[in-house]
Structure 1
Amino acid sequence: MQHSESGMPAGCPAHGNPALFGPGFGSDPEGAYAALRATGPSAPVDIAPDVQVELVTSYDAALYILQNPASFVRDSRRWNALNEGRVPEDSPALPMMGYRPNALFSDGAAHARLRQAVTDSLATVNELQLVRQTQQSAAYLISQFASSPRGQGELMADYAQPLPLLVFSDLFGCPPEIGDQVIAGISGIFQGTPDADQVLGAALGELIALKRRSPGTDLTTRLMEHSARLSDEEVLHQLVTLLSGGTAPLTAAIGTSTALYLGEEWQTGLPVEDAVSQTLWNYAPIANYATHYATHDVELGDRTIRANDPIVISFAAANTDPRLTAHREQLSAKAHLAFGAGPHACPAKDPAFMITVAAVEALLNGLPDVEMRVPFKDLNWAPIPWSRTLLGLPVRFTPRVVTPKTAERSATTSRTSVSMPHAAPSSETSARPQPKGGLFSRFLAWTRGE
């Protein structure tokens, strides 16, 4: 993807709009946002081939839309171009923007009912237990690559991506075989695997049926027992929303926060929380999303946006709006829009922050001498509009053996006081048969010392 002299990614042939996808955009999204801001608080872009949206880059305009549900709604069944057959049937925008019967795409009373069930259920999650589950999941993943004689790892694929999946499988109360299928389904959706939707739907359907027979103390049971009396189909769609809306952003946040903390410009002594906050401000994990549809024609700057045309919020551009950054030190550390705002703000922002911090700290404690193999500025980002996520995070470290017992000890120590590493495993130890099953089954077996 080539950039024009204005700094914008080259336009899509269909509309002549800047393109928010491809390697040109992926390599310099900040440059693209800066060029778009020059046209006003919003500008038309192509978010996928032949899919035009109005992208809001102004912090004030984004906040106005997010907090004005009377004029801007989320139900994508209003989408003009889709209803008129102008969106390609195989467009990558459809899985992200197409209607689903969940809180994310609902408005008014329907939204309030579904959201209340989700927020009340999330409120029952024990914070200490959530941190411990994150630490245990982290320790298992570290154990899978920490003993490599080369002392090298790739943290996005081996750590940041699978960790949220393990945590969510536990939160949902999945038995091993269902957890394996849930992970296979949601991973397949993000990787474009055929029939991944069906795999995930079948696994969650089986989980819901299991909880009908044998309720537990998990998030799935809490949703099913809520006073809103969700149908099984509604429970399934809220679980899908939690999975898709939670796992990919957490992966991005864990990866970027780790890279910032290990990066060449990070000030020694600052806490991990600062790296996570900087990620949320400057590298919003959900970069461009929250599609809204105006209920009537509206004016944004010098542009008139037609009713029911899609308006996408650029959380990434809004957070780095120069009008905001000029006095950002006077704002609350939580004034960023990485978790949205208004009635559709992320209901799990506090658990998400805790998981991210715990994941980064667990890595630093488990591998106290871990270093990046390339500078932060040379890392590559995914060339997609929806999220700001690293393609890879190559690191090096001293090889060590991580077991459930050593992991439990290291979780209570700081990065600078971790005990000396164990010797790398012998060939006899390495040849020990691995437990069968998928990721969640293997994780549970590891926690039992099998």
Structure 2
Amino acid sequence: MTSQSAQELTHPESSDYRNLAAPIYTWESTPKGALTMSGAEAELPEHIAEFQKTLRNFALNVMRPIGIKLDRMTPEQVIAKDSLFWEFRKKYLELGVTVEALGEMEPQEAALLFSILFEELGYGDAGLAISVGAGILPQWLCAKFGRQDLLDEFPDAVLGCWGITEPDHGTDMLDPSRQIVYPGSSYGRPNLVADLTGDDIVLNGQKSAWVSNGIIADVCILYCAADSGDGPSATEGCALVFPMDLPGISRGKPLDKMGQRALNQGEIFFDNVRIPRKYLLAGPEDYQRAVYCIHAEANALMGATFTGLAQAAADLALDYAHERKAGGVPIIQHQSVRSRLFHMFRKVEISRSLTRRGLNFNNDPKLGTPSLCAAMFSKTTGTQHAFEVTSDALQIFGGNGLTKEYPLEKMLRDARASLIEDGCNEVLAIKGGSYLIDSEKLS
């Protein structure tokens, strides 16, 4: 901009001032700009915006009512053959969201759709959303590693699970690089070891009760310690993708837990299970890369899902604040309620922005290695905010929020579980901080 044009813009008496272009906004007499379904988000591509509307309808009319019913069942009833879980599963597959379809999109367009998908699924029911997420991880990682043969054997309709956490090693299993281990200590003996010394890979041991879809999955992506002849090593493990009907695989009882009760979780036991070599996704030389990769994908998925849950709770609270009267007026007329709602929506915006920004960044083809730190920003922020927002929403509902007549007490329980899920937030912060170390500055 030249000094002359700048002068004209700042001095109304300039001769050309009235010839400026029309303003980009259409101002009302009392301005009040509205947020979109995606909050303070620029206009989405038309096909993604339309799909988001489809997903929101699915979340409200299919997921939420089914999730509420499953929440009140026993874990055994949730996974029974006549359970509504399988109706949900069937209707989700009819949406046509596949790993192959996402792979055919431009990387950053796929990242946006991925975020919106899990935001909207989380809007409907967090437990069912995580079941979907865990269910596609075997196929998702096969695509990331270029294993078309395994994608052909295990299409999207085949329900997956992710076996990594162990009874004696929870978040430790996400740390083969030993960034969070206490100095001078050892993680101890793994609960599951893959023997790589023969023609087949042999598994002995177990995964813990927190394996999502563990009791009902047909395919598993498994991460465990490996023994290449010198004893088991958690830092030199392996990742496998295999069918769950192999001889020697058994499963425990479905876990009875506080939140996300629509999400089946349970133990898996391996007794001399022989895994053909074709199912090896990553050997010891690639193990740390494989853990890094799935951790980054899963943490981004968590951030999106619980952004959606927080948005749902905030929307319910906003509607209720217009309906419920106290002090003679709808409670939204009270300053404290308006302030609380503002900060709830602010936290949703932060969570959504971090998640979409991180996914966009990590799907940039020019990047090379994605940033696990960015994914952990999303997970820890999204889950912490979901817990805070659902708690504040319940407070707005008052005593009604404590009853099962309203969905808030369930949403609060679902959000609380997320602070531990996919790595405790406190431990992730330690690991994430380790990635910020610049060794050159320490020398």
TM-score, structure 1 as length reference: 0.29
Bigger Rg, which one: 2
